[in-house]
A and B are shown apart, each in its own frame.
Chain A
Amino acid sequence: MNVPESFRYTSDHEWVSIEGDIATVGVTDHAQEELTDVVFVELPDAGRAVSKGEAIAVVESVKAASDIFSPVTGEVTEGNAAAEGEPALVNTDPHGTGWIFKVRMSDPSELDGMMNAAAYRELIS
């Protein structure tokens, strides 16, 4: 299972990658394997104010819909239109081109509660 070292992780099986005050969010390799066959991605609009833990996107597989939560408080800067157009990217490249949305963080200290790669590997082992 691929668990990139530089990411932070949530217990909802999302990853967070930080660049400045922008958090890029996606579902983990483990999550996409559990979901299988993502056929639909619903994105939040840019500019939307979000709170940590709020369900703001949906990833649907053939069998079920799963909420994607914002792991941080802030404002959505972008949803991944490429993943919306080609939902299979979430399966084929979950940590890269299959990212879901980006949030400009208002409280970077929220990152402190998240797992690092080692802790996440432990969670899914």
Chain B
Amino acid sequence: MSGELKESPLKAVHEELGGKLVPFAGWNMPIRYGSILEEHAAVRETAGVFDISHMGQFVVTGAGASAWLDGVLTNHVGALGDGEGQYTFLLNEAGGVIDDLILYREDAERFFLVVNAAKIAEDWAWMQGRLIEGVDLEDLSEDFAAMAVQGPEAVKVYAGMVPGAELPPRNGIVRVEHEGQELIVCRTGYTGEDGFEFFCAAADGAAWLRKTIAAGARACGLGARDTLRLEMCYPLNGSDLSPERTPLQAGLGFFVKLAKGEFVGSDVLAKQKEEGLGGRLVAIQCLGKGPPIRGGAEVFSAEGELLGVLTSGTLSPSVGLGIGLAYLPVETAKIGTELAIDVRGRKVPAQIVKKPFYKKA
């Protein structure tokens, strides 16, 4: 990422709250305000709010929008009703992941897409290059501030923010009018907890962040967002997803609907399904206390053979053990397989476990 860092519309509030800002995906974003462990715990136990203004928003409109989107994305857009959403992938011709995103159908001719910050330009160029007559694509990323409110008390925070407004069902989207301002509210998240993401005019963002905090949410940074998502095995594009790996290899075939008809990359995925995946993204957990395992660490078999490299890794605050993800050859990618992770030359014993690492009690 070159050039100047972009600043969040919520920056003034981050600074007031003592947020530590660091470069992330071309943006200057809060990695934490105080303790990452406490922010993590707040989301698991009460509610936290994350600035996600770096993420991009596209709107696709037109009579042919649904069918066109089904030709460029992996999940089945045609299966959605009004106000419903789905997790999906934008693939390259080789079936590799350009981006993972969430798509919402507002109505039959209007779709709202939330894409990764680092991929806005690439997604845009890829989709723009495939546009057809009767479909319009608009990038509204600059217009919005965005926040994710996550945790068992997220519903309570919502009631405090916008009294009387209804929350959409899981994966749903609604537009809410409040004191002359419009919010787009989506019932989704990246933490494994109940919660919602909302989008407002960039200029109103700072006031909305203060409202979520006044309503009981703790400001949380990207550090906690990463430990929370990794405990759920939610992939991070650029780390766990890449143009060289397909969603099937990432274990996310549920969001790939080959039966819906052809889409970019579908031929490669169909072939891979038939001939075998080669590699598979597995969840790896350390057997005991030890140093945290981190992305980039080499993964060895119990016999000492190099099998792969961690794409993500951390110390799970909820589980209390090192956790990570790695693409391993399918023949070794079985639950219970013992492994050794290299940490500064020391082999840390670990094993493949069932996803996710964290299950709610």
A contacts, CB < 8 Å to B: 36-37, 39-40, 42, 58, 60-63, 65
* A residues in contact with B227, CB < 8 Å: 62
CB of A58 within 8 A of CB of B292, answer no
Residue in A36, A40, A42, A58 whose CB lies within 8 Å of B315 = A40
Q: Which residues of A contact B35 (CB under 8 A)?
A: 36-37
Contact B291 A62 (CB under 8 A): no
B290 touches A63 (CB 8 A): no
Q: Taking the complex as formed, is B268 at the interface, i.e. its CB lies under 8 A from any CB of chain A?
A: no
List the B side residues contacting A58 at CB < 8 Å. 291, 344
Question: Shortest beta-carbon distance, A93 to chain B, in Å?
Answer: 16
Taken together as a complex, chains A and B put the C-alpha atoms of A42 and B343 apart, in Å, by 12
Taken together as a complex, chains A and B put the C-alpha atoms of A40 and B290 apart, in Å, by 7
Q: Is the interface of A mostly helix, strand, loop or mixed?
A: strand
Give the residues in chain B near A36, CB-CB below 8 Å.
32, 34-36
* B36 to chain A: closest residue by CB: A62
Min CB distance B52 to A, Å, is 19
Report the Cα distance A60→B293, complex, angstroms.
Answer: 10
Q: Which residues does chain B contribute within 8 Å of A39, judged by CB atoms?
A: 37, 292, 315
B223 at the interface (CB under 8 A from A): yes
**CB<8 Å pairs between A and B, sample of 14:** A36-B35, A37-B37, A39-B292, A42-B291, A60-B291, A62-B227, A62-B314, A62-B315, A62-B317, A63-B31, A63-B223, A65-B291, A65-B292, A65-B294
> How many angstroms between the C-alpha atoms of A58 and B290 in the bound complex?
12
> Chain B, 283-300, contact with A by CB distance < 8 Å: what is the 0/1 string?
000000011101000000
For the complex, give the distance between the alpha carbons of A42 and B290 in Å. Answer: 9
Which residue of the partner chain, among B34, B290, B292, B344, contacts A62 with CB atoms under 8 Å? B292
Residues on B with C-beta less than 8 A from A61 are 36
A35 CA to B290 CA, complexed, in Å: 18
A36, A42, A61, A62, most chain B CB atoms within 10 A: A62
Cα A39 to Cα B344 with chains together (Å): 16
Q: Which residues of chain A come closer than 8 Å to B37, judged between CB atoms?
A: 37, 39, 62
Q: Which of B34-59 contact A (CB under 8 A)?
A: 34-37
Partner of B36, one of A37, A42, A65: A37
Name the residue of chain B whose CB is nearest to the CB of A37.
B37
Q: Which residue of B lies closest to A62 (CB)?
A: B36
Complex CA–CA separation, A42 to B227 (angstroms): 22
- Contacts of B214-252 to chain A: CB distance below 8 A: 223, 227
Q: Give the CA-CA distance A62 to B223 in the complex, in Å.
A: 8
Query: Whole-angstrom distance between the alpha carbons of A65 and B36 in the complex?
Result: 15
Known: A39-B315, A40-B315. A60 touches B36 (CB 8 A): no
List of A residues within 8 angstroms of B223 by Cβ = 62-63
- Rounded to whole angstroms, the CA-CA distance of A36 and B20 in the bound complex is 11
Q: Which of B303-317 contact A (CB under 8 A)?
A: 314-315, 317
Q: Which residue of chain A has its CB nearest to the CB of B223?
A: A63
Closest chain-A Cβ to B229's Cβ sits at a distance in Å of 13
Query: Chain B residues near A42 (CB, 8 Å)?
Result: 291
